[in-house]
Amino acid sequence: MARSPRTVASGLSGSSDPRAAKRRSSAIGAFFAEFVDMFDIYLPTVVLTPALVYFRPSNLSPGVEAILTSLVFATTLIGRPIGAIIFGVVADRLGRKRSTMISVAGFGILTLAIALVPGYATLGLASFWILIALRFLDGICLGGGYTGALPLAMEYSPKHKRGLLGGIILAAFPLAYIAINLCALAALAIFPLAGPDSPYAVWGWRIPFVIGALLAFLLFFYYKHKVSESEIWEASAGAASKSEKASAPLRELLRGKTGRTFVQVFTMMTGFWLTQNLVTLYLPTIVLPDLVGLSDTELNVTLLIAYACLVASYIGSGVLGQRFGRRRFFIAAGIGIVVAGTALLSVLVNGKDLPLPMIVLVVCAFSIIVTAPWGVILAYINERFRTDVRASGFGIGFSVSVVIPSFYAFYLAGLGDLIPNLPAAPILLAIGAILGTIGAAMGPETKDVDFTETRP
């Protein structure tokens, strides 16, 4: 029998709370889910990219090679929003735990299947398209992994701890980046890479994929045996069942007040995804190797140090957002990105002659400032949606908003043609920060939102 919201609320506070173990297991599960999700996301770009020659003919032009390489990552980005939509509905209708277990089992099986795909010598170009298809399906399941797990953890957390918990969970992202890069460096050091028949190209890259699949299976069994369903969701589902007013979460999400909330979250997240992409994609692929001229070793060391700093900064942002308010923090962070972030990016874009220690320092400062909103985003988006559409609102608001910013390279090219005498990247960074700040200003403060209200 579902518990009443009042009973749930009373059980979510106090040091003698008998549900403390449930809160702890849901928090650990969410952190692990975020880690495994991001580990799997980086597998093709970090681990598989050096071995793609194993899946395609050797006589391709550089342009065709670039297109095929981008497809491996692009299909994942396309799949994730689709997965967020599907599994968001599942999580709101059937439960956060069930949705998480289905999606985790899916990307565990698919990641293992990718590790077993034969190469071009065996299947011809079909091997590459099998890889793309599996990666697309993998992206769908990955889009569902955090859509159920993260709202579940937020719903178990006392409201005065949601900021800290959100920062800790999102800190799994830079930790996963560090882990996958260390894993790739170890694999490349052990297994030589020299053409399609070399040990790394044939099977060395498969080991990290098997590790990713095993992590997913561990996560599945952890949720099966350790994590309890959200009591707040159960209370909401029970109330909806009794009143016979349950409706489709997707329809509810996109209409009325909740629809306006979604537009606000989508606007904010579009801006902050745009700024994030300039850190996670543009900085390591264009700025540091091409404009600054770092070697592969210098680039890896710089990024590993920067991401290690992000682990602490995400948690710190979550704490600050809890203390001063989410909305106020987003606005301050947006202004900081416009002022300090653009200045630091301008230094890096023109940093050809900077000494390496200075480059590392500037990269760390730039990364911390620009990614500051992300330590607060998890708690904020969950607080913006009522219980019956929370997973859909969080998953779709978080994932679908990544689509427009994904074309950042085209925006940079367009700005470069429009204003050739000014650096395009800092201007695009400022545009993203302003958009994110406007989106945040459109919404209310949320840190005191009561999750036990089914229609806040």
Per-residue model confidence (pLDDT) at position 13: 43
d(CA 278, CA 405): 10
Residues 6+ apart with CB under 8 A from 248: 89
Residue scoring higher pLDDT (19 or 182): 182
Question: Tokens for 305?
Answer: 């140090």
pLDDT digits (tens, 9 = 90+) for 362-377: 999 999 999 999 999 9
Q: 325-375 pLDDT, tens per residue?
A: 999 999 999 999 999 999 999 999 998 889 999 999 999 999 999 999 999
pLDDT reported for residue 419: 86
d(C-alpha 360, C-alpha 103), whole Å: 38
Q: What is the CATH number of domain 21-246?
A: 1.20.1250.20
In terms of residues, how long is the chain? 456
pLDDT digits (tens, 9 = 90+) for 263-276: 999 999 999 999 99
Question: Tell me: the pLDDT tens digits for 3-36?
Answer: 444 443 444 444 456 678 999 999 999 999 999 9
Distance between CA atoms of residues 281 and 12, nearest Å: 39
- List, by residue range, all CATH 1.20.1250.20 domains of the chain: 21-246, 248-456
Percent of the chain with pLDDT over 70: 93
3-state secondary structure 96-115: HHHHHHHHHHHHHHHHHHHH
Q: Is the pLDDT of residue 454 over 50?
A: no
Quote the pTM value: 0.88
- Kindly report the CATH number that applies to the domain delimited by 248-456: 1.20.1250.20
C-alpha span between 148 and 394 (Å, rounded): 9
Give the pLDDT confidence score for residue 264 in this predicted structure: 97
Is there a contact between 249 and 84 (Cβ–Cβ < 8 Å)? no
CA distance 400 to 406: 11
Which residue type does 58 have?
A: S
Closest CA to 30 of 391, 397, 430, 406: 391
Task: Please identify which residue in the block is written with the tokens 């710190």.
Answer: 316
pLDDT reported for residue 1: 41
Sign of CA dihedral 260, 401, 99, 373: negative
For residue 154, name the pLDDT band (cuts at 50, 70, 90).
very high
Whether 291 contacts 346, CB under 8 Å: no
| DSSP character at residue 423 | -
Among the ranges given (131-145, 246-260, 291-305), the one the predictor scored with the smallest mean pLDDT: 246-260
Contacts 24+ apart (CB under 8 A), 292-295: 292/348, 292/351, 292/352, 292/354, 292/359, 293/352, 294/356, 294/359
Distance CA 407, CA 410 (A): 6
Burial of 218 (0-12, 13-18, 19+ CB in 10 A): middle
Contacts of residue 245, defined as CB under 8 A and 6 or more positions apart, other chains included, come to none
